[in-house]
Amino acid sequence: MVTVTVAAMNMRGAHAVVRGNALKINVTSAQRKDSRHRALFSPMHVEPYEAADGHVYACFENWWQSLKEFEGVDHATSVEWWRKLRVPKRRNPGLKGKSVLGAVHPGSPGDRVQYITSRIDIYVPEYMELLERRGATLELQRLRGAAVAYDTVAFFDFDGPRDAGTGAPLSLVLTEELFVQKLFDPTFPFGHGYVVAAMYAGFDIAALLQRARLEAATRVA
């Protein structure tokens, strides 16, 4: 049986070590623009992304970042900055050091949801829809066939697992428990690589998100 892992990588420098005979899949934008896996999996791959309100962003990542609210920052001004941006960005450099308060729910613009909850209710479902539209599920099916020649399939992402003390990139076996755990981990961003790997592994992600919602409600209570 093939082991599925999520592995972290640095833009310049170390990648997590994956032992054994591994099929390594880069799901980031740090590869050629015409790379199949960049175009299918990266939220920063430049292609028009139309939000529910009709506004078009340079890519999915820019839209996601525009939803975040920061302490002491006018959200409308932040949104306008992201809408005008024509290149992909992971963050607004002008907000360095600002604390994230939460995210505005795209289905209810007046409502803010907590940062962790936004991963559960917004990021993961919307990113999965993006993958469906791109046809990424067909590529995952192809990869399952290719993986029979390997011991491990490793999905590399900048926001994969890291050592809590040093920040060094790690490779961890993906389980349902790890997926939910990382949703709640405020130490590091929740990378899309977890979602791609979970889809590849055939996890019932909708059920895992519901489990996370129930856990989130318990934590608030």
Cα–Cα distance measured from residue 180 to residue 195, given in angstroms and rounded to the nearest whole number? 11
Q: How confident is the model at residue 110 (pLDDT cuts 50, 70, 90)?
A: confident
| Predicted structure pTM score | 0.95
Mean pLDDT of the chain: 95
Q: Are strands 56-57 and 68-70 parallel, antiparallel or unpaired?
A: unpaired
| pLDDT tens-digit map of 154-212 | 999 999 999 999 999 999 999 999 999 999 999 999 999 999 999 999 999 999 999 99
Q: How confident is the model at residue 109 (pLDDT cuts 50, 70, 90)?
A: confident
DSSP secondary structure code for residue 35 in this structure = -
Strand partners, 112: 104
Q: Are strands 3-8 and 152-157 parallel, antiparallel or unpaired?
A: parallel
Closest CA to 18 of 1, 5, 37: 5
Q: What is the pLDDT of residue 221?
A: 53
Q: How confident is the model at residue 70 (pLDDT cuts 50, 70, 90)?
A: very high
| pLDDT tens-digit map of 18-46 | 999 999 999 999 999 999 999 999 999 99
